[in-house]
A and B are shown apart, each in its own frame.
Chain A
């Protein structure tokens, strides 16, 4: 990229950030000159009120946690690239943070804000689009709420309380055999020391990552999702990030006005197991993938039970949802369908009168392969368990 292109790119990024954060469309008003290290108290919670770009990691004393206070010396294991992935995963799932980032995919840039809190073992998370869609995703313990203003719909899904985000999936030796994990550089990014870790897939069934991981906090300040050839297909870059010790409950309340919205819930809980329930398994899987979880559940807005199977290689995961075809659908020809959601893929087909849908952050061929390999077997002993 030439110097002028880099300038334009930076201008673009700042223009987007400025418009999103300042609520103005003018590209001239960029927030770059507004950086103030101490001006943003951590308890600023409203998306409209919180000038996330006025904060800094250094100005937030709350981020002085055990990760920062770790001994300066590092063993060879601790400095291994895979260890940085583990540290990053741990930081993302166990720390409190509040950040604004740009999300680039398919030629589009959008600013989002993420607030994450772990308090008394309960994970709360809020992810909101700061640009046009106004969509929000809020997790409060086992409750997942998705606000879709463009569809005037709110989805509310209750997950089993024992289900935890922490530590799943996990990088292990098997994972390492399907990815090449390296530290390729140590560089400064936004005045922070970062380790540049590349996770390169060894085949076409999965994507890779290039990660700029903050040396002191292990937070990924920049993330690129890459195909096997290393081409960037999705990128996330933090424009601001704080790690406050305390984030109030009000930070996890949606700004979306839901008057007149349709609310779809699944609060009835997982369906009771029945002897007639079929057990679905994959006859074959891409190399390295294994079934990691299986559950039966109902989804918001549907009374029909759905089998949810999860396959993972330790980094990438694919969910397969199996539901009996409704009577009105049974007469329709089974036409496989593909869809894309960012870099994630979805594929749906019909097998033995059941609609099979695979979703995952993997290439389209992978979800298609896994979905087409599903087959009903003998009923399981239990209907909900983890492997």
Chain B
């Protein structure tokens, strides 16, 4: 695959490809098996990366994702890389969801209004980052398999044992005020917290 095509693919994932070029590339994707395979790989890798951060694939697809990642060491490394690197892949994954329906024929985005705790990145990429043409293509493709957008998996706050609770309470006396508040807040935190993959912005207007 030449660099220009690769660049166009990347731009398409980033929703930065002009609509006309996007249409041309989509046509080429429909007849270029190599390009199609490349695109499909992007799709599952992107989905896999999102899976870690809140999106779960169905079981069959998950197996293929694992195989692809194992076959692609560089991408596997990127999977555990810096948050910014993951963020780079998010638009990629979002576009992959839609276009992958047409090309990989495995994904279908469940049409549902996200609950406040749903993984908003997944929703955003599906509604905002995906080129409109791709969304239409996805709808027309019939969507044979389902692509589930569940709530983010809980990053479980460790429920403290009584012993650890004792230690935390005793230690809190010697923490700086800010650290103590952080520590005790974490201690208070249960698994009922609402998922949010990034720190939420401050609620405005309530502190004056």
Contact = CB atoms under 8 A, between A and B. Distances in A.
Contacts, number: 293
A32 B206 contact: yes
A279 interface: no
A93 B174 CA distance: 12
A312 B173 CA distance: 13
Contacts of A133: 188-192
Contacts of A315: 176, 179
A127 B174 contact: no
A354 interface: no
A235 B179 CA distance: 11
Contacts of B77: none
A300 B166 contact: yes
B164 A346 contact: yes
B186 A103 contact: yes
Contacts of A231: 83
A151 B163 CA distance: 12
B128 interface: yes
Contacts of B187: 135, 137, 146, 341-342
B183 interface: yes
The 10 closest A-B pairs by CB, nearest first: A342-B186, A132-B192, A133-B190, A108-B193, A92-B177, A56-B208, A319-B171, A15-B116, A190-B207, A106-B155
A127 B184 contact: yes
Interface residues of A, number: 113
B200 A308 contact: no
Interface of A: 1-2, 4-6, 8-17, 27, 31-32, 35, 37, 53, 56-59, 88-89, 92-93, 101-110, 112, 114, 127-129, 131-137, 144, 146, 148, 150-151, 153, 155, 157, 159, 163, 165, 168-169, 189-192, 209, 211, 220-225, 231-232, 234-241, 264, 292-293, 297, 299-302, 308, 310, 312, 315-317, 319, 321, 339-344, 346, 357, 359-361
B85 to A, nearest CB: 12
Given A236-B181, A341-B158, A37 B186 contact: no
A189 B208 CA distance: 9
Given A88-B178, A92-B177, A131-B192, A240 B201 contact: no
Contact of A107 (B116, B155, B159, B183): B155
Contacts of B175: 317, 361
B4 interface: no
Contacts of B123: 8
A359 B192 contact: no
Contacts of B152: 107
A89 B200 CA distance: 25
B192 A110 contact: yes
Given A8-B120, A14-B203, A128 B176 contact: no
B196 A127 contact: no
A319 B174 contact: yes
Contact of B171 (A58, A209, A359): A359
B186 A105 contact: yes
A110 B117 CA distance: 11
Given A15-B116, A165-B173, A9 B201 contact: yes
A55 B169 CA distance: 30
Contacts of B188: 103, 110, 112, 127-129, 133, 135-137
B206 A110 contact: no
Nearest to B171: A319
A106 B182 CA distance: 13
A342 B164 contact: no
13 contacts: A12-B117, A35-B205, A110-B185, A131-B192, A144-B173, A189-B202, A189-B207, A190-B205, A223-B178, A239-B207, A301-B166, A341-B158, A360-B171
Contacts of A109: 193-196, 200
Given A231-B83, A240-B206, 11 more contacts: A32-B205, A92-B178, A108-B195, A133-B192, A150-B190, A220-B178, A300-B166, A312-B174, A342-B187, A344-B186, A346-B164
Contact of A236 (B174, B185, B193): B185
Task: Count chain A CB atoms within 10 A of each CB in B117, B158, B169 and give the residue with the most.
Answer: B169
B71 interface: no
A282 B176 CA distance: 21
A343 B157 CA distance: 10
Given A339-B164, A342-B183, A10 B204 contact: yes
